[in-house]
Amino acid sequence: MGAEEGEEEKRETKPNPISAAQFLSWKRRKDAEASARKAESARKRSEDIATGTVQMNGRELFLHEPWVFDNTQY
């Protein structure tokens, strides 16, 4: 049983320390990727709305066709 405990200790990995500059570089890259993904998603959504393949939600309808919400007639 003593040999098994020694093997478990060897399996434990220690995290590699990173510098603040490495972290900031990673963070900027991840933020850039996320914003690019979000922009692409928004662009595709607006194209789909323009072609009529998807239905607009309430906010999109209000921004795209505000006359629908004009209650001055009533």
pLDDT at 20: 94
pTM here is 0.58
pLDDT at 3: 56
> Measured on CA atoms in the order 19, 24, 25, 31, is the torsion positive or negative?
positive
pLDDT in tens, 7-54: 666 677 888 899 999 999 999 999 999 999 999 999 999 999 889 898
Q: Tokens for 25, please give them.
A: 């570089």
Q: Indicate whether 10 belongs to any domain.
A: no
In whole angstroms, give the CA distance from residue 11 to residue 64: 58
Q: Indicate whether 32 belongs to any domain.
A: yes
Q: Indicate whether 3 belongs to any domain.
A: no
Q: Indicate whether 45 belongs to any domain.
A: yes
Count Cβ atoms below 10 Å from residue 54 Cβ, excluding itself. 13
Residues with Cβ within 8 Å of residue 26, at least 6 apart in sequence: 18
Q: Indicate whether 71 belongs to any domain.
A: yes
Q: Indicate whether 65 belongs to any domain.
A: yes
Alpha carbons within 13 A on the beta-carbon side of 20:
0
Please count the structural domains in the chain. Answer: 1
Domain coverage including residue 70: 26-74
Q: Per-residue confidence at 5, pLDDT binned at 50, 70, 90?
A: low
Q: Indicate whether 13 belongs to any domain.
A: no
